[in-house]
Amino acid sequence: MKLRNIAIIAHVDHGKTTLVDKLLAQSGTFRENQKVAERAMDSNDLERERGITILAKCTSVQWKDTRINIVDTPGHADFGGEVERILNMVDGVIVLVDAAEGPMPQTKFVVGKALKLGLRPIVAINKIDKPEQRANEVINEVFDLFAALDATDEQLDFPILYGSAKQGWMAESPEGPQDSLAPMFDLVLKHVPAPQTEEGPFRLLGTILEANPYLGRIVTGRITSGTVKPNQAFKVLDAKGNLVEQGRISKVLGFRGLERVPVEEAEAGDIVAIAGMVKGTVADTFCDPLVEGPLPAHPIDPPTVTMTFRVNDSPLAGTEGDKVTSRVIRDRLLKEAEGNIALRITESAEKDSFEVAGRGELQLAILIETMRREGFELAVSRPKVVFSTDEATGETLEPIEEVVIDVDEEHSGVVVQKMSERRADLIEMRPSGGDRQRLVFHAPTRGLIGYLGELLTDTRGTAIMNRLFHDYAPYKGELQGRRNGVLISNDQGEAVAYALWNLEDRGPMMIEPGWKVYQGMIVGEHTRDNDLEVNVLKGKKLTNIRAAGKDEAVRLTPPIRMTLEKALAYIQDDELVEVTPKAIRLRKVWLDPNDRKRAERAKEAAVG
């Protein structure tokens, strides 16, 4: 059967997964009466809850006499490592662009990678049914973007489709016909070349790794040369050509719609999943025992943010989770790093904490949330940036991100002011339709940690912020930290409503009556810039004298709800987030007040 391999790439929320749903439905993959979940490709619980794609996934549809393998990719820059690997498997890309928003930072990032690999793009202008759509301007912006990314003349001569993935149609003009996605299927067959294969025995570059309880490790990739069958002997070579393992392939799985089906044989050019390996991982070459050298694997951009994962040592440790020791945390992190090559994990000398470096706060927060749901308890430090050194001058360099903020005109002043406080440079400011402004900054990653919540407060929830790693640049100097101190519990027990009510004038609380607290745990935000120890366990003194007006009911202000991302952005260097399956708590690194003072004095002496 004829083959085509394509990836659908776009910025987050531009409609990739919705488009894949419609492609599957219109190609006859499902029975007419088959019930299919919306955004069928987002199979992971966190993906469904957040409405974002985190893991790249493969599917395939049959159109006329050709099978089209489709890869759905994440849209967030934090998961860019997934996208970079995937592009090695395909021969063409559909670049999906929102008809109102136009090309955004992540579009730029992925398109740049695709053009560098020589892939030929098809541009699909999606959401053409939006009242604020500006399709013609968006096409000019896409062309300018391609030109700025050094596209070849052949790549600049891209075909264009207009349509609405949600309504299930694409056409060569914005007017229609608005009946199906057939024009997109036909264009893929015409424009995307058939997979290029090489002569020789079986070779496959591992691209996606997953663990299956029945089959063990499953590696997905494109067959570069030869054929593969179940029970065939194979060996695994790492990127340097060293032998990793040898064995026999237990199963070869082909993608057919949403299912993975065992196949008797797969040929060069096809995307398949193979099982039977014990150590082989992403970026390794799976090949016939006769093959001498590995396939080239493209380098991945380096991590920019690091966090410390520690064993939870609070007084409540072990009461809510069942995976609490450093050994199980270490095994889980190493297993994650095998499948996700954008993560880098290093162990501390004490063996009870691990430095986990990744692409951004969201990527690390998703990892923590996944571990938490699996029953892990751990304490996590504030995210820090990964610095680099200029080899020629010895100067310290820090990661700089390109930040695009879409905001209502009335709020643009406060955004520019706050970003300049965070050492950001304003690069561009232009209208983006509907009384909104698009502001483009180059800002140090350090300054952006924890900014999203503040931005939404300043703009009454109307701003949209997108970030993308830009480059390393000389260190920009110190940044102002959090302005407010915190309220710290001075004892262990259960919080009492009366005590919380009495402390309300000290600042907003982060806990509710009945919650377990311990010495050194953060229970609220102080209205001033210093930390304050408070007693949240103090009950009301009861006497047998009753006077009018003495027994009003205690009415509490609702507390600040701390989500995981919010907590990671909020804490300072001397604080930790305690994460368990049931709760997210904030605490000081040193729980005892005397230890805290000692650490503070030592820090002042070191600075002095």
Closest C-alpha to 566, from 604, 522, 607, 608: 522
Which pLDDT does position 352 carry in this prediction? 81
Residue 129 annotated as part of some ligand binding site: yes
Which pLDDT does position 39 carry in this prediction? 47
Which pLDDT does position 82 carry in this prediction? 65
Q: Is the pLDDT of residue 24 over 90?
A: no
Q: Which of 70-84, 342-356, 456-470, 569-583 has the lowest mean pLDDT?
A: 70-84
| The token pair that represents 603 in the structure block | 């820090």
SS3 percent helix, strand, coil of the chain, rounded to 5, is 25, 30, 45
Most confident of 75-89, 107-121, 232-246: 232-246
Which pLDDT does position 523 carry in this prediction? 93
Q: How far apart are CA 455 and CA 430, in angstroms?
A: 19
Residue 313 annotated as part of some ligand binding site: no
Angular region, 514: left φ>0, alpha ψ -120 to 50, beta rest = left
Which pLDDT does position 442 carry in this prediction? 92
Alpha helices per DSSP H over 134-210: 135-148, 153-156, 182-191
Q: Please provide the average confidence, as pLDDT, over all residues in the chain.
A: 83
Residue 126 annotated as part of some ligand binding site: yes
Percent of the chain at pLDDT exceeding 90: 13
Q: Which of 85-99, 291-305, 388-402, 508-522 has the lowest mean pLDDT?
A: 291-305
Mean pLDDT of the region 394-423: 88
Mean pLDDT of the region 586-595: 91
| The token pair that represents 233 in the structure block | 């002997």
pLDDT band for 77, please (50, 70, 90 cuts).
low
pTM: 0.76
pLDDT band for 520, please (50, 70, 90 cuts).
very high
Which pLDDT does position 31 carry in this prediction? 46
Q: Does domain 388-474 have CATH number 3.20.20.70?
A: no
Could you tell me the CA-to-CA distances from 48 to 17, 21, 54, 117, 592 in Å, in that order?
11, 14, 10, 31, 41
Q: How far apart are CA 543 and CA 528, in angstroms?
A: 35
Mean pLDDT of the region 558-569: 85
| The token pair that represents 409 in the structure block | 């005109």
Q: Is the pLDDT of residue 57 over 90?
A: no
pLDDT band for 488, please (50, 70, 90 cuts).
very high
**CATH, range 2-191:** 3.40.50.300
Q: Is the pLDDT of residue 342 over 70?
A: yes
Q: Is the pLDDT of residue 577 over 90?
A: yes
Q: Which of 68-82, 118-132, 332-346 has the lowest mean pLDDT?
A: 68-82
Q: Is the pLDDT of residue 418 over 60?
A: yes
pLDDT band for 608, please (50, 70, 90 cuts).
low
Which pLDDT does position 159 carry in this prediction? 92
Q: Is the pLDDT of residue 509 over 80?
A: yes
Mean pLDDT of the region 429-438: 80
Which pLDDT does position 36 carry in this prediction? 46
Which pLDDT does position 521 carry in this prediction? 93
Mean pLDDT of the region 335-363: 81
Mean pLDDT of the region 77-91: 72
DSSP-based three-state secondary structure for 529: coil
CATH class, 203-287 region: mainly beta
Q: How far apart are CA 575 and CA 421, in angstroms?
A: 23
pLDDT band for 33, please (50, 70, 90 cuts).
very low
Which pLDDT does position 49 carry in this prediction? 58
Which pLDDT does position 40 carry in this prediction? 47
Most confident of 85-94, 249-258, 490-499: 490-499
What end-to-end distance do the CA atoms of the chain give, in Å?
A: 73
pLDDT band for 552, please (50, 70, 90 cuts).
low
Q: Which residues contact 35 (CB under 8 A, 6 or more apart)?
A: none
Mean pLDDT of the region 473-477: 85
Q: Which of 22-31, 90-99, 417-426 has the lowest mean pLDDT?
A: 22-31
Mean pLDDT of the region 120-135: 87
Residue 527 annotated as part of some ligand binding site: no
Which pLDDT does position 581 carry in this prediction? 92
Residue 207 annotated as part of some ligand binding site: no
Could you tell me the CA-to-CA distances from 418 to 162, 415, 457 in Å, in that order?
38, 5, 12
Which pLDDT does position 392 carry in this prediction? 81
- Asked whether the bond before 201 is cis by omega within 30 degrees of 0, the reply is no
Residue 13 annotated as part of some ligand binding site: yes
Q: Is the pLDDT of residue 390 over 90?
A: no
Strand 584-588, strand 575-579: pairing: antiparallel
Which pLDDT does position 545 carry in this prediction? 65
pLDDT band for 122, please (50, 70, 90 cuts).
very high
Q: Which of 13-17, 178-182, 446-450, 510-514 has the lowest mean pLDDT?
A: 13-17
Sign of CA dihedral 40, 42, 48, 51: negative
pLDDT band for 459, please (50, 70, 90 cuts).
confident
Residue 152 annotated as part of some ligand binding site: no
pLDDT band for 569, please (50, 70, 90 cuts).
confident
Which pLDDT does position 535 carry in this prediction? 92
Mean pLDDT of the region 163-192: 86
Q: Which of 98-102, 160-164, 188-192, 547-551 has the lowest mean pLDDT?
A: 547-551
pLDDT band for 35, please (50, 70, 90 cuts).
very low
Task: List the chain domain ranges.
Answer: 2-191, 203-287, 388-474
Q: How far apart are CA 59 and CA 19, in angstroms?
A: 13
| The token pair that represents 394 in the structure block | 């010895």
Residue 370 annotated as part of some ligand binding site: no
Q: How far apart are CA 178 and CA 160, in angstroms?
A: 15
Q: Which residues contact 422 (CB under 8 A, 6 or more apart)?
A: 443, 444, 447, 448, 451, 479
Closest C-alpha to 139, from 194, 94, 97, 187: 97
H or E segment to which residue 488 belongs? strand 486-489
